[in-house]
Amino acid sequence: MATFFNQATLNFGSNSLNSNITVGEIEAGLSMTKTSASADYGNGDGITYIVSIVNSGAADVTGVAVTDNLGTYTPEGSATTVVPLTYVDGSILYYRNGTLAETPTVTAGNTLVVSGITVPAGGNATLVYEARANAFAPLTAGSSITNTASLTGTEPLSDSSTVPVREEPNLTISKALSPAVVTDGGEITYTFVIQNTGNVAIDAADNLNVTDTFNPILSGIEVTLNGSTLAEGTGYTYDEATGAFATVNGAITVPAATYTRDAATGVVTVNPGFAVLVVTGTV
């Protein structure tokens, strides 16, 4: 919507007189909005975008193309421009006045171009598509991806959508046995590795614990956490009659992951935070 002003001047003899100022508005033929259906993103997540084009004019507008920059940005302290989103091939949906229409032409690379769009008179065209957070997407808490869609083939229009990174821990646990073959009365060691690839740490207030029931039952167990002895009662509980083992709620904390970016390529590497719990006993 553009506003315009106009004023007339009346001249007579050596005199002049200004009229009142008229104010009018020119309504654009097309308008566009871009939104995200995804509240946030994590490592490798898909983000769904919606581009809506409204035609307030009396004639169809044809030959319209939408170009999405897929979040192109230059990381702080870097001279390398990176593209943090990758279009998910085949995900495009194209609607005219709410009815699914034929698939438009899609060209995907460092930008996404959707061409051959018709916006009906007094109606709308809507594009729905998915892009996936790739190895260039920022993952540190407080990060976000902003990408901009622009119209070509008509008056220049653009709109942007910003999606924040999801802020949460992301845990996995693995368990290893050593040795795999043991004689009766021999000693075995269980090693539990808890990894956090998320951008939020697990602290004592999160009440994380590890439970297990050892079979065969272990006796005379020794427990360490990150190389330091964990005390029975304050750090863990164990029932030698049943083999039931549990760490005390909050005894284990796991730091958040850290993220490093290659200065030359811009690729982000995830360095998980971890905790290592080791239980040794005799069978």
SS3 of 114-165: the string is: EEEEEECCCCEEEEEEEEEECCCCCCCCCCEEEEEEEEECCCCEEEEEEEEE
- Asked if residue 159 and residue 42 are part of one domain, the reply reads yes
- Asked if residue 277 and residue 253 are part of one domain, the reply reads yes
- Asked if residue 139 and residue 184 are part of one domain, the reply reads no
Number of domains in the chain: 2
| Cis peptide bond upstream of 216, omega within 30 | yes
Predicted local confidence at residue 25, as pLDDT: 56
Residue 243 in any domain: the answer is yes
* Dist CA 107 CA 51 (whole Å): 16
Asked which of 164, 191, 225 is the last residue of a domain, the reply is 164
The string of DSSP codes covering 181-197 is S--TT-EEEEEEEEEE-
Asked which of 129, 164, 199 is the last residue of a domain, the reply is 164
Q: 80 vs 45, which has greater pLDDT?
A: 45
Query: Tens digit of pLDDT for each residue in 105-154?
Result: 999 999 999 999 999 999 999 999 999 999 999 999 999 999 999 998 77
Query: Tens digit of pLDDT for each residue in 160-178?
Result: 999 999 999 999 999 999 9
Residue 3 in any domain: the answer is no
Query: Tens digit of pLDDT for each residue in 177-192?
Result: 999 998 888 999 999 9
CB 73 within 8 A of CB 85: no
Asked which of 146, 164, 182 is the last residue of a domain, the reply is 164
Q: Pick from 240, 236, 71: which is nearest to 146 by CA? A: 71
**Residue 112 maps to which CATH number?**
2.60.40.740
Mean pLDDT of the residues in the chain: 94
- Asked if residue 152 and residue 213 are part of one domain, the reply reads no
Tell whether the model's pLDDT for residue 28 goes beyond 90.
no
- Asked if residue 142 and residue 53 are part of one domain, the reply reads yes
Residue 194 in any domain: the answer is yes
- Asked if residue 182 and residue 160 are part of one domain, the reply reads no
CB 152 within 8 A of CB 65: yes
Q: Are strands 85-87 and 93-96 parallel, antiparallel or unpaired?
A: unpaired
Ranges 74-83, 208-217, 256-265: which has the least confidence: 74-83
- Asked if residue 191 and residue 123 are part of one domain, the reply reads no
Residue 230 in any domain: the answer is yes
Predicted local confidence at residue 12, as pLDDT: 79
The average pLDDT across 65-73 equals 97
Question: Which structural domain range is residue 77 located in?
Answer: 26-164
